[in-house]
Amino acid sequence: MPLNASEILAMLDEAAARFTFPVLDNGYVYPADVRLSGFSSGAQWALVIEVLGFNTRAGGTEGFDVALYRLGNCIPKGKEGQEGFRLDFVFPVDDGPSGELLVERYGELISPAARDVLIRGKVVPLPAPEAYPREEIQLVEPTALRAYELLRALVPEHREQLLATDEELREELPRDMPLRVRWDAWRHPDVAGGERPSGLETFRQLAEALARGEGAGLVPPEPPNTHWSHWPLAGQL
């Protein structure tokens, strides 16, 4: 059977209703960046949405994670028990040679003694103070740097290393399934506010592209809202 855009949208809406679709104002996670990858081949499709953020409840540097929301009719059931959905995590950040990055394991303050961080095993100096205003990151306290502020400042220069690798991204997908759509910014539904993917022209066009096995050059038709600045309540719980 050929792919049908309405079936794709129905599956995305079901995930949103179950809150297994990314919620960008998640009260437990400070978002730093996102990426969307859409795949399809024949009668199969998959959508992987990455959410890079900081979760204080994870503990230590595992609070810096990439949540990979995998949705599609070819995705095996994950531990969440939902057909066509699987949630995986990647942890790209670790303490650098200068010592522990966080003051407390379950806190969010960066140690004043920290001078560097490991990103996938590579030593990276902490951003200079001028990096924060340049990226419009307003520090809560200039003398007490928070983990999510640091992560947001690291993104411009180290985004590719912080997000998932191609191998991590394609885990659980059929071998060699073509990438049809890759977006770094798009109009995302306010899931907590009751919006559904099918209510947005962005996801309707995305579903059509995946169903046709196309998508190269597809530009999101609506103004994007995926930058962390659009979700000020995220991480506040």
pLDDT of residue 110: 98
pLDDT of residue 115: 98
Q: 57, 28 in Cβ contact below 8 A?
A: yes
Domain boundaries, the chain: 5-91+163-230, 94-157
pTM of the complete model = 0.96
pLDDT of residue 81: 74
pLDDT of residue 183: 98
Q: 102, 109 in Cβ contact below 8 A?
A: yes
pLDDT of residue 1: 64
pLDDT of residue 79: 73
Q: In degrees rounded to 5, what are phi and psi of residue 97?
A: -60, -25
**Residues in contact with 169: Cβ distance below 8 Å, sequence separation at least 6, in sequence order:** 37, 48, 50, 68
Residues of the chain with pLDDT under 70: 1
pLDDT of residue 24: 98
